[in-house]
């Protein structure tokens, strides 16, 4: 019986946005490419494009030999886990696509495997070729494709796992960074690197040579991302016009941060769209040429909660665990930061995540300032699923495959169905937009967690996902971002801990 390998991918430049898929069928015995499929599918989401690529690849394999066994390999953890039956399919748009894929070949003939994106370059390039063709008003043509040139990576060594507890910035975290770097396409080949971060301690100093990535909430967590843009999506990772398109998309995402506030407070600015794209003859909306009378910005002062008992133990502590309160050290930190805010006297409103550690920290500040605390559900930390309460090393021992997937793909969820970094980014972007509109011209203290704070900062900078690995965020640290009525954002402060010093 013949055996085929089907590699499939899909991407959306906007999520939803112009989308396409790519699939390749390979002879498992010889490594020969037997068939390629790609198509521009109009406006769709990443997940829809990925499923469409899967269906096209399975159909191509069936056309070659309907009795062959097929190994499907994709870099979408979502599709692989759903088609393997390990994850439920909740989204109504995904259910018919999954059912269609399941009907192509008997289930006994098909298996599914997750692979890092660097091992899925052929399908990735096909998807980008299809999107490039769609942008030109054309459809993809196999005769013009160059996706297979140099794309075959037969057997890439497994991505090394971090070898030390979370927070070892000079050992385990450095190795994790090295592994993540190898799992990402190079800048020349891709404009959308996706891996989320690995753990870092709240207490370890940042180092220039090996900036510590982050994973656990109490040990400095975020994505990914991998969380890829303000909508939490990603485009397929390489080829053609994707680099420039993604760069423009990132810039637009930043400018959209306070778009709702601009409409609500001041109304749309004339020629705002042309200015955002740098059109000729238009006053720049950023830098020295910016209009001077935009009014006071909505300023978010971002306070990470104080330490909990889990912080020095470097355990995963998100929104799905035991919800620990502050430790004695954490309460002292909260009092110190409250005194600092009282001296400054600029905070007008206080919002807090619903978790105990943030409400307790916010309460200490509110008592000093004479303000009320409003609980904001959108500021809650990521849910780390079955990893809650475990150390990074314990997760590595118990769930190595899930951990590798999570480190490489912001759309991958922790074991047990926690929240992916991409989902976290979508939630934070929506919360940001709502609060910017509500508090235009005000200074608001947001008492929250590592993942939300780093996501606020990354989106404000319009920075790529890997910037998350280069941010240190200590317990009870203060950061600040200002959002203007023209849609621009300005990072004012990051990880200030001066108030904690004796």
Are 419 and 85 spatial neighbours (Cβ–Cβ below 8 Å)? no
Return all residues near 152 (Cβ < 8 A) that are at least 6 apart.
Answer: 31, 33, 122
Are 64 and 155 spatial neighbours (Cβ–Cβ below 8 Å)? no
Are 465 and 225 spatial neighbours (Cβ–Cβ below 8 Å)? yes
SS3 content of the chain, % helix, strand, coil (to 5): 40, 15, 45
Residue with the two structure tokens 């074991």: 415
Q: For residues 498 and 58, what is the distance between their CA atoms, to the nearest angstrom?
A: 58
> H or E segment at 430?
helix 421-438
Residue with the two structure tokens 């991958």: 412
Backbone dihedral angles phi then psi of residue 387, each to the nearest 5 degrees: -85, -10
Residue 266 carries which DSSP code?
I
Q: For residues 26 and 28, what is the distance between their CA atoms, to the nearest angstrom?
A: 6
Question: Catalytic: which of 381, 388, 411, 419?
Answer: 381
Question: Catalytic: which of 122, 305, 399, 449?
Answer: 305
Q: For residues 323 and 304, what is the distance between their CA atoms, to the nearest angstrom?
A: 15
**381 classed as catalytic:** yes
For 161-205, give the DSSP string.
Answer: PP-S-TT-TTTHHHHHHHHHHHHSPPTTT-S----------SSSP
Q: For residues 402 and 221, what is the distance between their CA atoms, to the nearest angstrom?
A: 17
Residue 264 carries which DSSP code?
I
CB atoms within 10 A of CB 187: 10
Cα angle for residues 450, 489, 194 (degrees, 5° grid): 50
Q: In 65-153, where does DSSP find H-type helix?
A: 77-83, 94-104, 121-135
Q: Is 87 exposed, middle or buried (0-12, 13-18, 19+ CB in 10 A)?
A: middle
Q: Is 202 exposed, middle or buried (0-12, 13-18, 19+ CB in 10 A)?
A: buried
Can you read off the two tokens belonging to residue 353?
Answer: 């995540």
Q: For residues 454 and 477, what is the distance between their CA atoms, to the nearest angstrom?
A: 12
Q: Which residues are catalytic?
A: 305, 381
């Amino acid at each position: 019986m013949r055996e085929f390998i089907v590699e499939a991918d899909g991407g959306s430049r906007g999520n939803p946005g112009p989308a396409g898929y790519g699939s390749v069928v390979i002879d498992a015995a010889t490594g020969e490419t037997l068939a390629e499929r790609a198509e521009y599918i109009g406006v769709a989401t990443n997940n829809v494009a990925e499923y469409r690529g899967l269906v096209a690849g399975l159909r191509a394999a069936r056309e070659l030999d309907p009795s062959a066994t097929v190994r499907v390999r994709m870099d979408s953890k979502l599709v692989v886990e759903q088609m393997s039956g390990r994850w439920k399919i909740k989204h109504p748009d995904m259910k018919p696509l999954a059912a269609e894929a399941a009907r192509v070949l008997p289930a006994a003939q098909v298996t599914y495997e997750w692979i890092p994106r660097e091992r899925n370059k052929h399908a990735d390039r096909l998807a980008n070729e299809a999107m490039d063709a769609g942008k030109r008003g054309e459809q993809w043509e196999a005769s013009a494709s160059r996706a297979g040139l140099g794309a075959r990576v037969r057997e890439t060594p497994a991505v090394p796992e971090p070898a030390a507890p979370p927070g070892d910035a000079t050992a385990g975290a450095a190795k994790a960074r090295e592994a993540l770097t190898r799992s990402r396409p190079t800048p020349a080949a891709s404009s959308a690197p996706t891996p989320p971060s690995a753990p870092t301690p709240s207490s370890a100093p940042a180092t220039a040579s090996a900036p510590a990535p982050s994973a656990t909430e109490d040990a400095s967590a975020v994505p990914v991302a991998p969380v890829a843009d303000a909508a939490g999506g990603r485009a397929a990772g390489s080829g053609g016009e994707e680099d420039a398109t993604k760069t423009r998309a990132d810039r637009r995402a930043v400018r959209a941060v306070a778009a709702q506030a601009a409409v609500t407070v001041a109304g749309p600015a004339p020629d705002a769209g042309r200015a955002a794209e740098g059109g000729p003859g238009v006053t720049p909306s950023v830098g020295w040429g910016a209009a001077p009378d935009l009014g006071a910005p909505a300023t978010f002062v971002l306070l990470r909660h104080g330490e909990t008992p889990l912080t020095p133990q470097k355990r995963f502590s998100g929104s799905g665990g035991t919800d620990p309160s502050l430790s004695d050290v954490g309460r002292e930190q909260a009092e110190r930061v409250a005194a600092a805010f009282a001296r400054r006297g600029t905070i007008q409103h206080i919002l807090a995540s619903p978790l105990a550690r943030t409400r307790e920290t916010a309460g200490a500040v509110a008592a000093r300032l004479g303000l009320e605390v409003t609980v904001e559900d959108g500021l809650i930390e990521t849910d780390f699923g079955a990893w809650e309460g475990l150390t990074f090393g314990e997760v590595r021992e118990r769930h190595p495959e899930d951990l590798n997937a999570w480190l490489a793909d912001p759309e991958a969820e922790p074991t047990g169905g926690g929240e992916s970094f991409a989902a976290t980014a979508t939630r934070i972007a929506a919360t940001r937009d709502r609060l910017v509109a509500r508090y235009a011209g005000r200074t608001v203290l947001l008492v929250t967690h590592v993942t939300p704070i780093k996501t606020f900062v990354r989106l404000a900078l319009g920075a790529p996902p890997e910037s998350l690995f280069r941010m240190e965020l200590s317990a009870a640290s203060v950061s600040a971002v200002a959002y203007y009525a023209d849609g621009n954002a300005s990072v004012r402060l990051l990880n200030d801990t001066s108030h904690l010093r004796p």
